[in-house]
Structure 1
Amino acid sequence: MMALLVCTTGLGQTNKKESIDRFLELLHENQQNMGVVAIYTNGKEEYSKAAGWINAENKKPLAGDTRFRIGSISKMFTAVLVFQSIEAGQLSLDTKLSKFYPGIKNADRITISHMLHHKSGIPNFTSSPVYREKMYKGMTEKEVIALIESLPVELEPNAQTSYSNSNYYLLSRILEKVTGESFARLLDKKISQPLKLTATSYGKKINEAGNEAHSYSFDVASGSWKRMEETEMGIPQGAGAVVSNTRDLATFIQALFEGKLISTKSLNDMKAIDQGLGRGMMVFPFYDRVAYGHNGSIDGFESSLAYFPEEKTALVILSNAVGEYGFNNVALGVLSYWFDKPFELPSFSDKPVELSSEQLKAFEGTFANSNLGMKIKLWVQDGALMAQAEGQSGFPLAAFENDTFKFSAAGIVIKFHENRDKFTLLQGGGEFIFEKQ
């Protein structure tokens, strides 16, 4: 009986792997995604697949160990370094920002805990036009601090969660001040060396010869991938400057949850979710499972690191090119196949159709689903049908045949019924009927 169970499990794993392979290859073939996906359980690699190119111009293929800029997953590394400094007595969660940067508004009321939790109220400096003008040229610490100090403050400390790269930039600079070492050196000394992470370091200019991927966006005019510019990596620091690969990231998060980097108390402090965010960590619910980790985005790179404690399973998705299908849908597909949940393989054979503004007006109105307690407004704007759920931003819908509309970036499909007085919304495997009010 045990042998039969083992064989059955093995067959299931094979089918899962083949399904994910087919899914990722389909995305690459249709210029929807390039990247590497890996799944580890108990520190052992269960699955790895690379689909796409390190260099799209000369078609140099990605490999399973290719290094990527990981964006805000860097914040997990920064948070770990902060908790290590707290455990060493160099900082505390109650240490005030004013001890290091008194010129920042409300610094005497902002703590290390607030910054870790994105509850400081400090505005996001990477949203500033000044940053966008200089992001490819570089900014000194003095320039970044001056920019942060100049930004208008709209939130009081500890009032609410508001995601801001400024928090983790400041935390990495504070680490440098209390340790006397650069953030790059701390990353290497405190995390990479102990865990033997050979591919994880502070990023520099992308080195293709060193197995680092370039990033791309899809250029509609040419119908091909266009290389993205590179952020000058002296700027992001602990907010987004780390480079790594799937193996190192899986090793890192496994070690974190096994207590090899910080204490159980510190890990619990990281995992304490408030208004959707922890201290350097996010929570990812998936059906009846819960994972902890972080997402990242920088210069066209998209990434996700998630750990399911109950299953001791780490999922790593690193993309260097994402099309209209959207990164979230890539993650949803991989998770659905791995955990045996329903998922429809996307079809890219359907092409959008052009409808005039007059034709689109037939779909206008406010539609509601009483079970969800949600209303969605549809209206025509600048020749496109727009959709907006209450309390959310509006987004454009692409028209397809048979009264079908799609917003591919979020995996949303809206199919109108015959009289157009109701539609079925499909997203994430769910189907919801909305009726016109």
Structure 2
Amino acid sequence: MRSLFLAALLAAVPTAVIAQDLTPAESQRIDTIVTEALAKSGVPSASIAVVRGGRIVLAKAYGKASETIPVATPALPYQVASNSKQFTAAAILLLEDEGKLSLDDHVSKYLPGISGGDQITIRQLLSHTSGLQDYWPHDYSFVAMSKPVRPKGIIDRWAKKPLDFAPGTQWQYSNTGYVVAGQIVEKVAKRSLFDFLKSRIFTPLGMTSVVDQDKAIGPAYPQGYKRFALGPVRPDTPAAPGWLYAAGELSMSATDLAKWNIARMNRSLLPADDWAVQETPVKLTDGKDTGYGLGVSVRQFAGKPMIEHSGESVGFLSENMVFPDQKTSVTVLTNSWFSDAFVQMAQGIARTALPAPAGDPADAAYLTKAQTVFDQLASGALDRKLLTDNANYYFDTTALADYKSSLGALGKPVRIVQTGTSQARGGFVARRYRVEYGDRALSISTFSEPGADGRFEQFLVAPTQ
């Protein structure tokens, strides 16, 4: 374990291809987020891409891609697994644009013998509301995955079982539904799903790294890694060919997935209404919002609308976060499936890359003032002229001692940023800040007098995630 762990750390020197529009501090913060996540988790490598202002501003790879590729590079295609689902859904939408099918067609129109096929619509396949039982709910490769399979084999074994629920009545993730959808694409388009996607999406967008994951195996490609509990990090054995198909068959670089994210932001390549349909959460028959569209989750992060999906295949995990309103996206691809480091990296990078919210013109002055007071509390030398009578009353001898001992022990923070927008509250202006260290974060809740020269009525520091 020690030798593998040290090798990962030594290989974690970043390789950059594009670095624009990020300040040196932001770039350093992203490097810190990724390298520390790799070091703490033992994940061998990560490949990331950041879009800001509608264009790629950063693409970097860190760590060891495989036993034969000791230093990862941004051009390497990692398995993106279920991030492939949005592409399968896009293929259906393109065929609908051509009048060759409808999202509300029943599955039985194209494929006979599917359980509930005369009730399940294509839309329900893509939104995980079909009731078809998921053939791979596991977070490991089960015994059948050691042997090759064709889509028909998956369909015959899982899509002809009794439904888990009546179509449209529940949401339950189902890779099986996407295998069925992929077969519908191939029957209607009269070509393989991958070839259809290549001609209609990958080539037009210049996504040159994309390959079928069954072919992205060997010494020229990233290796997936596993770990049993806290044991050594070991190379994993890929699933036999055919198992991910339309549910997760793609491998690509983080940069190429970012190109797709840009098309989403710009409403290009696909008609705008196709993007809108994909990003509209499907509702159940009882009216409940599923929070899932067609191949993508629809949710919020840091108070901002987000289109998101993650992916998991044998030895690989990925996270793709798109913020259309901010023209920002974060893509993180890793070659392990034993840690949530990929999510922690993506969320940390997103907090760094997202534009600061528009707020009170005095926000900049109060950020500087908040940094000053925080540093003073950590050192125990508080300038009480920056505080109101009530705040001075709060910071009695005990409070000052506790602030000094607990904050001073943490050292200098990496950065302090405002979170959210300023708001009026009780005759004061409320602002919140996030204090980031290498391995933890704190929150600051402040009330201040109106105007750029106002004093703090409240300055409370607390732990946060």
TM-score (norm 2): 0.67
Q: CA deviation at 1:135?
A: 1.4
Name the residue aligned to 1:53. 64
Q: 1:327 aligns with which of 342, 350, 360?
A: 342
Name the residue aligned to 1:288. 303
Q: Deviations over 1:113-164 (max 9, x none)?
A: 11111111111122489x8322131112332121124433221011021110
Name the residue aligned to 1:408. none
Gapped regions of structure 1 (runs ≥ 5): 1-9, 342-410, 412-425, 431-437
Name the residue aligned to 2:16. none
CA distance in 1, matches of 2:260, 2:244: 21
1:218 aligns with 2:218: no
Name the residue aligned to 2:180. 170
CA distance in 2, matches of 1:318, 1:48: 11
CA change 1:102–1:49 in 2 (3 A) is: same
CA distance in 2, matches of 1:256, 1:106: 33
Please list, as runs of the form range in 1=range in 2, the aligned pairs for 1:287-306 lying within 5 A after superposition.
287-306=302-321
Name the residue aligned to 1:37. 48
Name the residue aligned to 2:85. 75
CA distance in 2, matches of 1:35, 1:310: 26
CA distance in 2, matches of 1:58, 1:195: 30
CA contact (8 A) 1:206 1:214 kept: no
Name the residue aligned to 1:367. none
Q: Deviations over 1:177-228 (max 9, x none)?
A: 0111011211211111111210013222434554x2111123457x532111
Aligned length: 336
Q: Deviations over 1:81-132 (max 9, x none)?
A: 1100000111101111011233122110111111111111111122489x83
Name the residue aligned to 1:151. 161
Q: CA deviation at 1:297?
A: 0.7
CA contact (8 A) 1:205 1:232 kept: no
3-state SS, counterpart of residue 206 of structure 1: coil
1:254 aligns with 2:267: no
CA contact (8 A) 1:284 1:293 kept: yes
CA change 1:161–1:220 in 2 (3 A) is: closer
CA distance in 2, matches of 1:26, 1:128: 28
3-state SS, counterpart of residue 335 of structure 2: strand
In terms of fraction of residues, the more strand-rich structure is 1
CA change 1:218–1:102 in 2 (3 A) is: same
Name the residue aligned to 1:393. none
CA contact (8 A) 1:187 1:202 kept: no
CA contact (8 A) 2:264 2:275 kept: yes
Q: Deviations over 1:210-268 (max 9, x none)?
A: 4x2111123457x5321111122423211000111111101112113323232121211
Q: State the identity %.
A: 25
CA distance in 1, matches of 2:346, 2:225: 19
CA distance in 1, matches of 2:332, 2:207: 17
CA distance in 2, matches of 1:340, 1:270: 25
3-state SS, counterpart of residue 334 of structure 1: helix
Name the residue aligned to 2:195. 185
Q: Deviations over 1:267-307 (max 9, x none)?
A: 11111113121111112411221221321111121111221
TM-score (norm 1): 0.71
CA change 1:192–1:324 in 2 (3 A) is: closer
CA contact (8 A) 1:32 1:323 kept: no
Q: CA deviation at 1:321?
A: 2.1
1:141 aligns with 2:141: no
Gapped regions of structure 2 (runs ≥ 5): 1-19, 282-288, 357-439, 441-461
Name the residue aligned to 1:318. 333
Query: Which residue identity is paired with 1:224?
Result: P
Q: Deviations over 1:378-429 (max 9, x none)?
A: xxxxxxxxxxxxxxxxxxxxxxxxxxxxxxxxx9xxxxxxxxxxxxxx99x3
Name the residue aligned to 1:354. none
CA distance in 2, matches of 1:206, 1:185: 16
CA distance in 1, matches of 2:338, 2:34: 13
Q: CA deviation at 1:42?
A: 4.1
3-state SS, counterpart of residue 317 of structure 1: strand
Name the residue aligned to 2:271. 263
3-state SS, counterpart of residue 295 of structure 1: strand
3-state SS, counterpart of residue 31 of structure 2: helix
Please list, as runs of the form range in 1=range in 2, the aligned pairs for 1:392-407 lying within 5 A after superposition.
none
Q: CA deviation at 1:325?
A: 5.3
Query: Which residue identity is paired with 1:304?
Result: E
CA distance in 2, matches of 1:31, 1:157: 40
Name the residue aligned to 2:209. 199
Q: Deviations over 1:304-355 (max 9, x none)?
A: 12211111112111011255454322222222233489xxxxxxxxxxxxxx
CA change 1:324–1:113 in 2 (3 A) is: closer
Please list, as runs of the form range in 1=range in 2, the aligned pairs for 1:339-358 lying within 5 A after superposition.
339=354
1:243 aligns with 2:258: no
Name the residue aligned to 2:23. 13
CA distance in 1, matches of 2:257, 2:298: 17
CA distance in 1, matches of 2:130, 2:31: 42
Q: What's the Cα RMSD here?
A: 2.8
CA contact (8 A) 2:62 2:72 kept: yes
Range that drifts further, 68-77 or 312-321 = 312-321
Query: Which residue identity is paired with 2:203?
Result: Q
